[in-house]
Amino acid sequence: MIAFRASLIAASVAAVFIGGYSAIADERAGRQIVQTIPDESGAGPVRLGPRRAISPVPAEGVLETVPARATPEEGLSTTVSPSGEAGPVDVQMLQAVDADSVGVIDDKDGGLGVDMWGAADRNYIGRVIALLPRNVWSPTMRDLLRRLLLTRAMAPPRETPGPGLLPLRIDALFALGDLESALSLISRAPIAPLDEQLLRTEVESRFFRQDTTGACGQVRAAAQDYKDAYWQQAMAYCLALAGKTAEAALLSDILAERSNAVHPAFFAAMDRLSGGPPPEIASLLEPSALYLSMMRTASLTLPRDVSSGASASVQNAVALSPNATLDLRLEAAEKAAERGILSGKTLVDIYGAVPFEDSVLKDPLARAAAEWGPKGRALLMRVADNQSVPAARAEVLQSALKLARENGGYRVIAVASRPWLVAFPPVSELAWFAGTAARALISAGEFDAARGWVRLGLKHANDTAGEGVAPGALWPLAMVLGVEASESASPAALVAWWQSRNQAGTESAIEAARAYYALLDMLDVAIPSELWTPILGAAPPKEARIPGPGIESALRRAAMAGHKGEVVGLALVALGETGPAANNLHAVGMAVRALRQVGLTIEAQRLVAEAAIAAGL
């Protein structure tokens, strides 16, 4: 038996469950759930009142405050006269709070409306939420997902028994990696009783954020009700953090008897926290936030496979872990940044930890091109960060984005470049950079900034070539971003654009034209029939994706009914984890048309812009 556990096996089991729990119960009293001071009758611990504010159930567009849980007395209302004297008693029972209706945002914060579900069946909506994509790279899709899951809205009626919407919404946010939103929604949940899975999600979210104080406060509260291996491991860790080594050791020994249900990482971390030699963990697939926090606190090196197929939250945690190798941190950071979890600034900071010899820095472009990958991208971002003149930095970014477009990692470079791109003013001295900046900003979700660069590029093209020339390379983006009015896409202009393609009629030109015409069609721009001629007989895009059966008709019905929440949910399901990509234009068209029909025209336009960049326009 490992020394840490064997040396303390003589401690009594009661010390863990009585002494251990109560010894740390007085700590952080502000977060306490159980009151340890007995009442006048000498009874045991007294359960305190609700620790969470209750989000109101919207009614007729007005949000009113309601009590979290009414006692028999609180469930009655008494009429009081203007003079302050009690009038005749008017007994009314307050409606119970529907947990599925709680939320964080309303219309003024970007919510989708108090009646966004319409009269759809609750189980049907639950199924839609369960099917929402988890690994999402599109900024527009992430924004819609967050707003859909956080909106305070009347829950639809339930025709048959089924799972609640609140746990499904929280689970979707957690899987998306939006831990702040998940915790915010959990904080609005009615308290009686809190579902074990929701409580575990809260604990995991706090461990992911390195909030061990908050996580352990919830673990102490849960330890009285939940006894499975996860909660006992968490309790042992929290006891160790609180300096209760004897109790932590005994609980660890108890868990050793169930070692088949406990990963070796737990025992390794507990041994290390006791001052023992640092054991090595060879593998840790799909780690919990608890294990990642334990290994970080114990300074145990994370194994190579820890981020293989991992969630966005795990990737983010690994990227920020000082106990991970630099190569592992780089890979995880890029994946987290691509999913919108890690900021561009943080990604550049992690890139900055990569050491480079002076000889490499003298010819960075050649070295990056020869060794394209996380370190190659880190090299170019290091060079860009070292530039103080905007034009010099723009030159480096243009080279990096060109390499990424050709070899992969474009969205990663776009996210890393975002802080610099939004700081660049779209001035005439940088007109040569307009197209590169606009495309990268769209990929990073900065649509307003992208419009400024598109306007600059169009003006520069007109000033250089004169009016009446064929539309330039930025014209497609000007159309889909609304910089140019839809009337500008006249048949003559479209024909001129097609003819201006350097290799009109080649496979790449046909794919670009097919994507552009399809995107314009989504925005109700008429395409001359003669322009479809070279496209009609062309081979379909490689690995073209079609949404699952029934989604298209369901989305069409929801749009006709004006159910904004249902439309957003189904549109996201239709797009899936593929998102607004060139091989997913059928789903993009479905989503764009439905979103426009329920008034979400800006979001529809942004999806089209993202699809245009993905198609190489």
pLDDT confidence of residue 191: 61
Cα–Cα distance list, 597 to 72, 512, 576 (Å): 47, 27, 20
Alpha-carbon Rg for the chain, nearest whole angstrom, is 29
Q: Which residues are paired to 34 by β-bridges?
A: 47
pLDDT confidence of residue 517: 85
pLDDT confidence of residue 83: 44
How many percent of the chain have pLDDT more than 70? 80
Per DSSP, the residues of 61-110 read: TB-----SS--TTTT----B-TTS-B-S----PPPPP-GGG--SB-GGGT
Q: Which phi-psi region, left, alpha or beta, contains residue 536 (left: φ > 0; alpha: ψ -120 to 50)?
A: alpha
Using one digit for the tens of pLDDT, what is the confidence trace for 209-219?
Answer: 999 999 999 99
H or E element that contains 285: none
Mean pLDDT calculated for residue range 318-343: 95
Q: Which phi-psi region, left, alpha or beta, contains residue 408 (left: φ > 0; alpha: ψ -120 to 50)?
A: left
pLDDT confidence of residue 593: 96
pLDDT exceeds cutoff 70 at 54:
no
Mean pLDDT calculated for residue range 470-489: 75
Using one digit for the tens of pLDDT, what is the confidence trace for 149-188?
Answer: 999 999 888 777 778 899 999 999 999 999 999 999 999 8
Residue type at 193?
A: P
Poorest-pLDDT segment among 187-191, 376-380, 465-469, 593-597: 465-469
pLDDT exceeds cutoff 80 at 47:
no
- Better-scored residue on pLDDT, 464 or 8: 464
Per DSSP, the residues of 496-540 read: HHHHHSTTTTSHHHHHHHHHHHHHHHHTT----HHHHHHHHTSPP
Mean pLDDT calculated for residue range 544-550: 84
pLDDT confidence of residue 36: 32
pLDDT confidence of residue 192: 55
Residue type at 590?
A: M
Query: 313: Cβ–Cβ under 8 A, 6 or more apart, which residues?
Result: 174, 177, 179, 208, 289, 341
Mean pLDDT calculated for residue range 585-594: 95
Please provide residue 488's backbone torsions phi and psi, each rounded to the nearest 5 degrees.
Answer: -70, -20
Poorest-pLDDT segment among 141-145, 240-244, 483-487, 607-611: 483-487
pLDDT exceeds cutoff 60 at 128:
yes
pLDDT confidence of residue 524: 86
pLDDT exceeds cutoff 90 at 543:
no
pLDDT exceeds cutoff 80 at 506:
no
pLDDT confidence of residue 208: 96
- Residue 467 banded pLDDT, cuts 50, 70, 90: low
131, with CB counted inside 10 A (0-12, 13-18, 19+), is middle
Residue 567 near residue 595 (C-beta atoms within 8 A): yes
pLDDT confidence of residue 537: 72
pLDDT confidence of residue 35: 31
Which position has the token pair 């060879």? 282
Q: What is the DSSP letter of 59?
A: B
pLDDT confidence of residue 551: 93
Mean pLDDT calculated for residue range 3-26: 42
Poorest-pLDDT segment among 238-247, 361-370, 393-402, 479-488: 479-488
pLDDT confidence of residue 502: 54
Q: Which of 276, 182, 273, 196 is closest to 230 using CA atoms?
A: 196
Residue 415 near residue 337 (C-beta atoms within 8 A): yes
- Better-scored residue on pLDDT, 535 or 185: 185
Indicate the average pLDDT of the chain. Answer: 81
pLDDT exceeds cutoff 90 at 322:
yes
pLDDT exceeds cutoff 60 at 15:
no
pLDDT confidence of residue 516: 85
| Nearest-angstrom CA–CA distance, 400 and 589 | 31
Mean pLDDT calculated for residue range 280-301: 94
Which position has the token pair 């004297």? 85
